Structure 1
Amino acid sequence: MTPHRHGCAPRAPTLSHPLLLACLGLCLLLGLPTVGIAQERLFIGTASPAGVYHIAGRTLCRMVDIPCRARPTAGSAANLEALRSGELQIALAQSDLQYQAIHGEGGFQAAGPDPSLRAIFSLHSEPFTLVVRRDAGIDDLAGITRHAINIGNPGSGQRGTMLRLMQASGWSHSDFVLVNELPADQQSLELCHGNVDAMVYTVGHPNPSVAQAIRLCNAALINVEGEAVDRLIAENPYYSRAWIPGGIYGPDQPPVRTFGVRATLLASERTDPDLVYRLVSAVFDNLLRFKAYHPAFSVLTREGMIHDGLTAPLHEGALRYYREQGWLDEAGTTNARHEPRHETHPLLASHD
C-alpha cells in the first residue's frame, strides 16, 4: 500500500523515542493517520472466518515481520477479481479457480485471461466435503437431488466446485427442492435448523463449521464418488482424489473418499517483489513453525508447495528465493536434490 502523504509519522529513522510518542499522541488527538506506526502494509485476502483460508492468512501474518492483516472475503473467485483490479496484493484461492482465471474460463470467461496473475506457493489439500443430515436419507452423492442444499455464496470456491460437479452430473437447480447460496460461516446453522438437508464445503480438515454440523445437528460426511467425479479428475489437472481421515470428527466417523483441489497463495505481477520475497522467506525459513499452526498444514513439503496446484507463473519475489535456495534452476526446473513431493498423512496411512 502506498504510504499516506500526510500525518505525523516520522520521515527519518533518527527521530527520538520521546518525540515519536509525542507525535503519535498528537496524531491520535487530532484524528490524523499514524502512517508507519499503526497502519497495515499488507492485506491477505482469505475467505470466510470459519474456514482454513482465514487461519492460513492469519498464520502468514504471524510469520512475516511487517504489519499484516488477514482480510475475510467472499472467497476464491472474489480474491482473484480483487488481485486483477489491484484491490488486494496477495490472496488465497483454490487451484481450480486459479487455472480458470489464468485461462479466462468458467466464471472468468467474460473478464478474459488474467496474464498478471502470479503464484507464490500452494498450501493444504482441500477435499470437496458433503455434509448431510442423517434423517434426510442421503447415502451417496446421487442422493442429494430432490433435497434442499446449500452450495455456497457467489465468489466462493465451494460454489464453483459444486457447479462444476452439477454440470458433470447433468444436474440443474431444478433437480433440487431448494438451492441456497449462504456463506460457509452460516451453512451449518441452516443445516441444524432443518432449512437444508445437505451442505458442501471445499476446505481443509478438521474444520470448525463441519465439526459444528456433526456435533450439534446429527450430521454425517458422505463419500463423493462416481462417474461424474472420475470425469472431473480425468479432464482437469487441478483436481485429484482426496480423503478425509476417519475419526477426526468423532470416534464413529469413518474415512471419506472424495476429490479435491489445493489452496494456493497468489499475487499480481504488480505486487512488490521484495514484499513477496520477505513473506516467502519467513514461511520457508520457519516451515516447521508454520506447519504447527493447523493440522491441515502438517503434511506440507517444500517440493509440493512450490509445484502442486500452481498453473500461474511464479512471482518474481518467490522465484528469487527458490533460486537462492537451490530449489529451482534458472529455467525454473526442480533441482534433483529436492525432497519428495508427496507425503502420506499418518491419519490416512491405514485407509489408502
Structure 2
Amino acid sequence: MSRFLKLVHLSCFVSLLAACGESTESIAPIGLENVVEPAPTVDNKNTHLFIGTGSVQGVYFPIGGVICRLLNRDKVRHRIRCSLESTGGSVYNLKELRAGNFDLVFAQSDWQFHAYHGTSVFEKDGPNSDLRAVFALEADPIILLVKQDSSVEEFDELAGKTVSFGYTRSLQHRIMDDFLAVKQWSSENFKEVRPMSDSKQLVQLCDGLIDAGLLLSSGLNDYLAELPSDCALRMVSISGHSVDEVIQRHPYYRTGRIPKGMYLNAADDTESFGLGATFVASESTSPKAIYHVVKEVVENFRDFKSLHPSLSELDQHELSNAGISIPLHPGAIRYYKEARLLK
C-alpha cells in the first residue's frame, strides 16, 4: 500500500471514536465483534457487504470498521450487514473485487483509474468496465519544502536551482514528472535534480545543499519530527493553470490543501495536488446497500471526519468527484442527488 495510507494504531482509533462527542447521535466506540464478525440475522434476505481495506495498522482498516459499525447498528431496519478484512492494499483489493471476493474496497485513485481502463499492472486483466466509485476520501498532496529564508515563493522560481523530488521511481517523483510534462519543463530547467530518499532530502535542505525538496503530505509529520531545532523550513504552494491542466490530463489527480498551522507553524494554507484515496464497488453490488453506505457516512460526517487527521479536510461536495475518474455507482448517485451533493 502506498505511503499516502498514513499509519495509525487501532487503539488510537478506538480512542478517537470514544471522543467523538457525548451526544447519542455520535458514533459509539467500536468493538471488533461488531465489525469483523457481525452477528448473523435470521432474515436470509439480508445483504451482506464484505469490505477489502488495508493493513490493520493503516488508515483504511479502521475506516472500514466505522462504515461497518454504522451499517450494522441499523441492520434490522435496512437488512444490510457488513464485515471487513485486512488486505495488502489497492492493487490486491481491486483484483479481488473483480473476482467477486469483495463487495467494496479502498483504492488509491490512480489504481482505480488503471483497473477501470486495464492499464499499468492491470493490462493483462483487461479493462474492468464493471468498476464503480462510491466516494472519495482524503487527498495526499505533494509538498514542496524550502528553507525559511529562501527567496522561492512559487514553483517557477526553482528554475536554475538545485532540487530533489525524491528517488526517481518514488511516487512524488512520478507525480512531479507529470506536472513538469504539462509545464513543458525538464531536468534542464534546473541547475541539478538530485534523486535521494525523503530523509536525505531534509538533511541536504537543512544543510543548504539543495534549494528545495518534495515529500508526500502523508509522511511529512514523521520526517518533520526529526528536524534539527536550528533548521527552519516552510512550504510553498503548487497551484494555478498547470495544476488544473495536469488534473484534466490525468483525472486521478486532485487538489489538496494543508491548513495553516498544521505543519511548520504555517501562517497561511498551502495549496497543492496529488493522488487520493477512494472507495469503490462493482456495478453489481446492491444499489440499496451502496445507497445506505453513502447515507450513513454523509449523515454522520462530522464524526467520520474526526476519526483521523487525514480525514479532517474532507468536504461533502468532493465526495462524488475528487480524484474519481470512473463512473459513480447507481446507489451512490441516488443518495448524492437526494442530498443535493450531485446535480
Question: Normalised by the size of structure 2, how large is the TM-score?
Answer: 0.58
Quote the RMSD (CA, aligned, Å).
Answer: 4.6
Per mean C-alpha deviation after superposition, the further-off stretch among 120-129 and 272-281 is: 272-281
**One-letter identity of the residue aligned with 2:65:** C
Q: Is the 8 A contact 1:246 1:256 kept in 2?
A: yes
What is the CA deviation profile of residues 170-191 of structure 1, one whole-angstrom value per residue up to 9, with x for unaligned ones? 34467544223x5xxxx2x323
Q: Is the 8 A contact 1:84 1:114 kept in 2?
A: no
**One-letter identity of the residue aligned with 1:64:** C
Correspondent of 1:64 among 62, 68, 74: 68
Q: Is the 8 A contact 1:150 1:199 kept in 2?
A: yes
The 3 A distance-change label for structure 1 pair 162 and 218 is same
**One-letter identity of the residue aligned with 1:208:** N
Equivalent residues in 2 for 1:111-126 (5 A)? 113-126=127-140
1:305 aligns with 2:319: yes
Higher CA-based Rg:
1
Partner in structure 2 of residue 30 of structure 1? none
Correspondent of 1:83 among 94, 107, 125: 94
DSSP-derived class of the 1:193 partner: helix
What is the CA deviation profile of residues 179-238 of structure 1, one whole-angstrom value per residue up to 9, with x for unaligned ones? 23x5xxxx2x3234328844434547x962364377865322112246643532454555
The 3 A distance-change label for structure 1 pair 109 and 162 is farther
Q: How far apart, CA to CA, are the structure 2 residues paired with 1:232 and 1:135?
A: 30
Structure 1: 5+ residue runs without aligned partners? 1-34, 74-78, 329-333, 342-352
Q: How far apart, CA to CA, are the structure 2 residues paired with 1:210 and 1:135?
A: 20
Q: How far apart, CA to CA, are the structure 2 residues paired with 1:212 and 1:232?
A: 32
Equivalent residues in 2 for 1:1-352 (5 A)? 42-45=51-54, 54-65=58-69, 68=84, 71=87, 73=89, 79-80=90-91, 83-84=94-95, 89=102, 90-94=105-109, 98-104=112-118, 107=120, 110=123, 113-134=127-148, 139-142=153-156, 143=158, 147-151=162-166, 154=169, 156=171, 158-172=172-186, 176-180=192-196, 182=197, 187=198, 189-194=199-204, 197=210, 198-203=212-217, 208-209=221-222, 211-212=224-225, 217-225=231-239, 228-233=242-247, 235-237=249-251, 239=253, 242-260=256-274, 262-267=276-281, 280=294, 283-284=297-298, 286-298=300-312, 300-315=314-329, 319-320=330-331, 322=332, 327=335, 334-335=337-338, 338-339=339-340
**One-letter identity of the residue aligned with 2:137:** L
Identity over the aligned pairs, expressed in percent? Answer: 22
What is the CA deviation profile of residues 50-72 of structure 1, one whole-angstrom value per residue up to 9, with x for unaligned ones? xxxx4354333244245545557
Q: Is the 8 A contact 1:127 1:259 kept in 2?
A: yes
Q: How far apart, CA to CA, are the structure 1 residues paired with 2:282 and 2:51?
A: 13
DSSP-derived class of the 1:61 partner: helix
DSSP-derived class of the 1:194 partner: helix
Q: Is the 8 A contact 1:64 1:282 kept in 2?
A: no
Task: Give 1:299 shift.
Answer: 5.1
Question: Normalised by the size of structure 1, how large is the TM-score?
Answer: 0.57
The 3 A distance-change label for structure 1 pair 132 and 339 is same
